[in-house]
Amino acid sequence: MRRASSYLKSFGSDFPSSIVVFLVALPLCLGIALASNAPLFSGIIAGIIGGIVIGSLSGSQLSVSGPAAGLTAIVAAAILKLPTFETFLLAVVICGALQLVLGFIKAGVIGDYVPNCVIKGMLAAIGLILILKQFPHLVGYDASYAGDESFKQSNNENTFSGLVSAMKYITPVAVIIGVVGLVFQFVWEKFTANKKGFIKIIPAPLIVVLVGIAINEFFISKGTGIDPKHMVTIPIAGSANEFFSFFTTPDFNGFLNKEVWIAGVTLALVASLETLLSIEAIDDLDPYQRVTNKERELKAQGVGNMLSGLIGGLPITSVIVRSSANVNAGAKSKMSAIYHGILLLLCVALIPGLLNLVPKSALAAVLIYTGYKLAKPALFKAYYKKGWDQFLPFVITITAILLTDLLIGVLIGIGIGLFFIVRSNFKTSVFIVHDHNKYLIRLRKDVSFLNKPIIKNKLEEIPENASVLIDASRADFIDKDIVEVIEDFSIHAPLKNIRVEIKQNNSGQQGFSKILLEDKNRKADIIRKHDTTLETIEP
């Protein structure tokens, strides 16, 4: 009862947000189905299941699920290899079953190992992709499908060449609709910033779409309207029976087909990774900083994919574009995702003709504005101020995603992030200073085999008749390779008349030989001398 009451209280935020998500999701569901060489309605089915079913089962309050652009290449290849689309649907069911297994074995922990700078870079990259990819649609050039996120496009162009080509095919009416819609959203945000009441909950994208329809209808009356190809295209059923015929079931005769299982396993792995990345990103955007249970999310995705495959839908993941639009629209709970699924179902069933009046340039304006919110210049400035170890992984992640795709770009970003983590630990784990013939080598944090060359070289540079204190008391871990290097140096040091003392913690966990610690009085004397002469110059 308490939870139901909470959802009712957030209705004023969640329902307007669901309208925004619905308007964003509609062209993406259709575009991804088109790019996947699947029936258009299969994308709508996936969007409905992603909203209603996964939205209900998921623990995430702001994530929105549906067909994902990152799966289009896999889906298109699988549909091409398999005998029928119905056989492919069986692969989607297998994908869902495997995701359930991944949820039960707690594979969701993988998402926790992605550095925050990579997550932020991923969000900024998605924002830039939206701006770059939707600009051609804004001016009336629809060579690539709505929702395309890959650098190389199906029409043999790429993200940047598509922008150049778009300038050659500008449609004046589409430009008017797109520019008006884009400007209106920026003005509306400032106008409603300090307002309260009904006007605050009116979603700007809904007004953008309605104004876009009105502008196009006006120009149609003058004989210069937009080409029908630039409009949303939803299959229209003439009767209830025809509508239900859009739904289909898998062909279970393909259960022993090796290609079906290969497609199912591939979809499960890629869809799960995309979901975990999206969940990490949306939790980061959540103004209430709620943390999603990753195992529950994988189970919810598994159930959703099984059901989607059983009734004719595409595979589903949690998707950043719809989720970030949900956050930016002010959603407070998972009900926004559920409402958007209900809206998809009702609108495609009852008013598909009205939806087919929506110009793609109006929806492009909504998506470009969403992209701007994800990739604000302030975000780049903030990461620049954090230092190169944060800024470089952030920028490299963005660049890699722009030039490849989401998963490859994120993997590259994680690799760069790990490099800086290792580099930082490498630089701070060994501290060396000297004053005349007195040397202090202090080992801190985790000292791994990566530190072996610098320690070995520094020990070899110590001159004759010097005294050396090797302080390992502050180290949490010392690799055995390092222990051997220090012990070898200590054994041979008398040949150069070098006095060596090792200081370690009382537990003796560093593993140095007891032979090196026999002379306690001499050790205490050297420690005292080094601490008084060198401690003052240690940063």
Query: What does the pLDDT read at residue 512?
Result: 61
423-428, Cβ contacts within 8 angstroms, sequence gap of 24 or more: 423/389, 424/389, 426/450, 426/451
Q: Which class would CATH give 429-537?
A: alpha beta
pLDDT band with cut points at 50, 70 and 90 for residue 451: confident
Query: What does the pLDDT read at residue 496?
Result: 86
Radius of gyration (C-alpha) of the chain in whole angstroms = 30
Query: What does the pLDDT read at residue 249?
Result: 96
- Which residues, 6 or more positions from 176, have their beta carbon under 8 angstroms from its beta carbon? 215
Geometric angle at alpha carbon 192, from 191 and 194, rounded to 5°? 105
Query: Average pLDDT of 478-482?
Result: 84
CA distances from 71 to 61, 68, 124, 312 (A): 24, 6, 20, 16
Percent of the chain that is helix, strand, coil (3-state, to 5): 70, 10, 25
- Which residues, 6 or more positions from 6, have their beta carbon under 8 angstroms from its beta carbon? 333
Domain ranges of the chain: 2-390, 429-537
Q: Is residue 137 predicted with pLDDT exceeding 60?
A: yes
Query: What does the pLDDT read at residue 3?
Result: 65
Q: What is the mean pLDDT of the chain?
A: 88
Query: What does the pLDDT read at residue 511?
Result: 56
pLDDT band with cut points at 50, 70 and 90 for residue 437: confident
- Which residues, 6 or more positions from 505, have their beta carbon under 8 angstroms from its beta carbon? 472, 473
Between the ranges 168-182, 427-441, 462-476, where is the mean pLDDT highest?
A: 168-182
Helices (H) and strands (E) in the chain, counts: 24, 6
Q: How far apart are CA 472 and CA 312, in angstroms?
A: 63
Query: What does the pLDDT read at residue 149?
Result: 82
What are the pLDDT digits (tens) for 392-412?
Answer: 999 999 999 999 888 899 999
Greater confidence, 511 or 114? 114
What are the pLDDT digits (tens) for 49-58?
Answer: 999 999 999 9
Residue with tokens 């937009």: 226
